[in-house]
Amino acid sequence: MNDDSSARIVAALRAVVADAAPGARLPSTRALVAEHQASPVTVQKALRTLAAQGLVESRPGAGTFVRAVRVVRPADHGWQTAALRASPGLGSPVSSTMRDVPNDVVALQSGYPARELLPERLVRAALARAARADVALSRSPVAGLPELQGWFATELARATPSGVTPPAPADVTVLPGSQSGLSSIFRSLVGAGRPLLVESPTYWGALTAAASAGVRVVPVPSGPEGPAVDDLARAFAETGARAFYAQPSFANPTGARWTATRSLEILAVAREHGAFVVEDDWAHDLGIDAEPTPLAVHDDGGHVVYLRSLTKSVSPSLRVAAVVARGPARERIRNDRAAEAMYVSGVLQAAALDVVTQPAWRTHLRQLRVQLRSRRDLLVTSLREHAPEAHVELVPTGGLNLWVRLPDGTDVDRLVRRCEADGVLLASGREWFPAEPTGPYVRLNFAGPRPEAFAEAAVVLGRALRS
Ligand SMILES: Cc1ncc(COP(=O)(O)O)c(C=O)c1O
């Protein structure tokens, strides 16, 4: 076989293919052998090269044909730049926490728990049952399966103090994950160009949802016990905002938890300004040393719009969450959901409901708490021992993350790259700031895979900080 001849035939046939109509038949191998004075093996090799390049396809017994879809030159999408005009400024909507990573790294950057922390047996059995049930072939109501609406409402009703009317099942709208709920809430309750108060730092996904809805975020500084009430009141007064997005329990990224008194004061400020508090209770099932008490249980006036997700405690693959809202806000959010997605897969809803109503679910949550505690403590101890320059500002009483302040002047992006080269993935704190970062931070997830490598990861971080 002669490589030069094969390349020569490829070049000649490329020219033929470029001028031929899709589906046209190429000359037979015998004709090509004669035309190019080459061996059949060389001709076959040239045809295989063209097939690998997607230019031709061979049909056994029929011959070789010009492919119907041809990529003969790189596609030019430049016209779209003119059609789309300026970018809406979403930045990078896919956070570094959502990257796919190889198995052999220590993945402290992720936002979800490792597989061994999930109720795998319950989830598999629930999916098998859902596949056999009617829901596998029917359309769910727009607001969700009534039994699941009932479960979410009961969860809040159990914690509602006397004198406050708990939400009704009809106030619940089931969502395919709370991320899409944030988008719907920001679109339908705030609206493009309008201000939304947010804690700073706060969940990057809320910031991207706000950006994609065209909502203008206004940061309010938030500490271990939440934002100062005066700061919040001033921000409402100055901006005319009518909504405040917040995580009162085990905030992502800081782990902050509002005190009971602060919660009631913040609710009072929202009432005074005729505003909503969008309460993101993402870590409701992830309490370690404390039980979350949703702010929503103190409100029956429709001021708190409450989001609860099961994606981190049941399974990231069963994307089921809910928003609880009352009055016209409930209708606006529901209409937005219907416009976007119509309804959530009944199979996923039925499976999620099945899991959380099994007696073994409570057992699972108890075990999860023990595992989260031991992983959190292991990572904290490892950092203190091997990377004392990395300061854990608050040992969180729930959630999945440590928020770590680095020495002033640290180039966080460089540090992240350096640790990655040594097999340790961290999330740069920058993604959680609605405006300029107030310091160099990284967020470390203690619920990811391979806790046995936490000490090694802390060594890598400490070395990178000192270098
Ligand atoms: C604070 C917070 N809210 C909402 C979400 C979105 O969760 P999901 O869409 O999986 O329900 C996340 C995910 O990381 C989160 O951390």
**C-beta of 179 in contact with ligand 1 (< 6 A):** yes
Residue at 89 is within a domain: no
Residue at 90 is within a domain: no
Rounded mean pLDDT of 307-328?
97
Distance (angstroms) between ligand 1 centre and the Cα of 418 equals 28
Q: Which of 70-79, 125-134, 355-364, 389-398 has the lowest mean pLDDT?
A: 70-79
Q: How far is CA 361 from the centre of its chain?
A: 24
On whether both 253 and 124 belong to a single domain, the answer is: yes
Residue at 91 is within a domain: no
CA 105 to CA 120: how far, in whole Å? 23
Q: What's the pLDDT at 70?
A: 55
- Which one of 302, 331, 357 terminates a domain? 357
Q: What is the pLDDT of residues 115-170, one digit of tens each?
A: 999 999 999 999 999 999 999 999 999 999 999 999 999 999 999 999 999 999 99
Q: What percent of the chain has pLDDT over 90?
A: 85
Q: What is the pLDDT of residues 418-441, one digit of tens each?
A: 999 999 999 999 999 999 999 999
| Paired sense of beta strands 424-425 and 56-59, if any | unpaired
Distance (angstroms) between ligand 1 centre and the Cα of 246 equals 12
Cβ 382 vs Cβ 241: under 8 Å: no
Residue at 87 is within a domain: no
On whether both 395 and 313 belong to a single domain, the answer is: no
Q: Record the tokens describing residue 23, joined without a space.
A: 């589906």
Q: What's the pLDDT at 438?
A: 94
Geometric angle at alpha carbon 437, from 432 and 443, rounded to 5°: 45
Give every CB contact of residue 273 below 8 A, 6+ residues apart in sequence: 233, 236, 237, 241, 242
On whether both 133 and 170 belong to a single domain, the answer is: yes
On whether both 159 and 262 belong to a single domain, the answer is: yes
Residue at 82 is within a domain: no
Rounded mean pLDDT of 21-40?
92
Atom of ligand 1 nearest to the CA of 251: 1
Rounded mean pLDDT of 78-101?
78
On whether both 374 and 458 belong to a single domain, the answer is: yes
Peptide bond before residue 253 is cis, with ω within 30 degrees of 0: yes
Run of H or E residues at 260 = helix 260-272
**C-beta of 188 in contact with ligand 1 (< 6 A):** no
- Which one of 307, 329, 357 terminates a domain? 357
How many domains, in total, are found in the chain? 3
Q: What's the pLDDT at 69?
A: 65
Q: Helix, strand, coil: what percent of the chain each, to 5?
A: 45, 15, 40
* pTM reported for the whole predicted model: 0.85
For a mutational test of ligand 1's pocket, the pick from 112, 175, 281, 312, i.e. the residue with the most ligand atoms closer than 8 A to its C-beta, is 312
On whether both 335 and 379 belong to a single domain, the answer is: no
**C-beta of 401 in contact with ligand 1 (< 6 A):** no
Q: Record the tokens describing residue 245, joined without a space.
A: 């997005």
Torsion angle, alpha carbons of 307, 311, 312, 317, to 10? -170
Q: What is the pLDDT of residues 161-199, one digit of tens each?
A: 999 999 999 999 999 999 999 999 999 999 999 999 999
Q: What's the pLDDT at 399?
A: 98
User: Nearest to residue 252, comparing CAs of 113, 424, 120, 381?
Assistant: 113
Domain span at residue 454 reads 96-112+361-466
Cβ 212 vs Cβ 204: under 8 Å: no
Cβ 198 vs Cβ 218: under 8 Å: yes
Q: What is the CA radius of gyration of the chain?
A: 28
On whether both 367 and 349 belong to a single domain, the answer is: no
Ramachandran angles phi, psi of 392, nearest 5°: -80, 110
- Which one of 332, 357, 382 terminates a domain? 357
Q: How many other CB atoms are found less than 10 A from the CB of residue 185? A: 30
CA 192 to CA 301: how far, in whole Å? 25
CATH number at residue 137: 3.40.640.10
On whether both 25 and 130 belong to a single domain, the answer is: no
**C-beta of 183 in contact with ligand 1 (< 6 A):** no
> 230 or 21, which is more confident?
230
CATH number at residue 42: 1.10.10.10
Q: Which of 51-65, 68-82, 99-113, 397-411 has the lowest mean pLDDT?
A: 68-82
Distance (angstroms) between ligand 1 centre and the Cα of 179 equals 6
Distance (angstroms) between ligand 1 centre and the Cα of 281 equals 9
CA 467 to CA 453: how far, in whole Å? 21
Q: Which of 101-115, 318-332, 438-452 has the lowest mean pLDDT?
A: 101-115
Alpha helices in 55-202 (DSSP H): 79-84, 120-132, 146-159, 178-185
On whether both 338 and 224 belong to a single domain, the answer is: yes
DSSP 396: -
DSSP 390: S
On whether both 446 and 335 belong to a single domain, the answer is: no
Q: How many other CB atoms are found less than 10 A from the CB of residue 249? A: 27
> Can you count the helices (H) and strands (E) in the chain?
15, 16
Distance (angstroms) between ligand 1 centre and the Cα of 227 equals 21
On whether both 102 and 251 belong to a single domain, the answer is: no
Q: What's the pLDDT at 93?
A: 61
Question: What does the mean pLDDT of the chain come to?
Answer: 94
On whether both 265 and 210 belong to a single domain, the answer is: yes
Q: What's the pLDDT at 1?
A: 47
Distance (angstroms) between ligand 1 centre and the Cα of 403 equals 17
Run of H or E residues at 18 = helix 3-19
Q: Record the tokens describing residue 33, joined without a space.
A: 């052998």
Q: What's the pLDDT at 90?
A: 58
Q: What's the pLDDT at 61?
A: 83
**C-beta of 109 in contact with ligand 1 (< 6 A):** no
pLDDT above 50: residue 391: yes
User: Nearest to residue 340, comparing CAs of 175, 226, 227?
Assistant: 175
CATH number at residue 431: 3.90.1150.10
Which of the four pLDDT bands, split at 50, 70 and 90, describes residue 71? Answer: low
Q: What is the pLDDT of residues 257-277, one digit of tens each?
A: 999 999 999 999 999 999 999
Cβ 9 vs Cβ 32: under 8 Å: yes
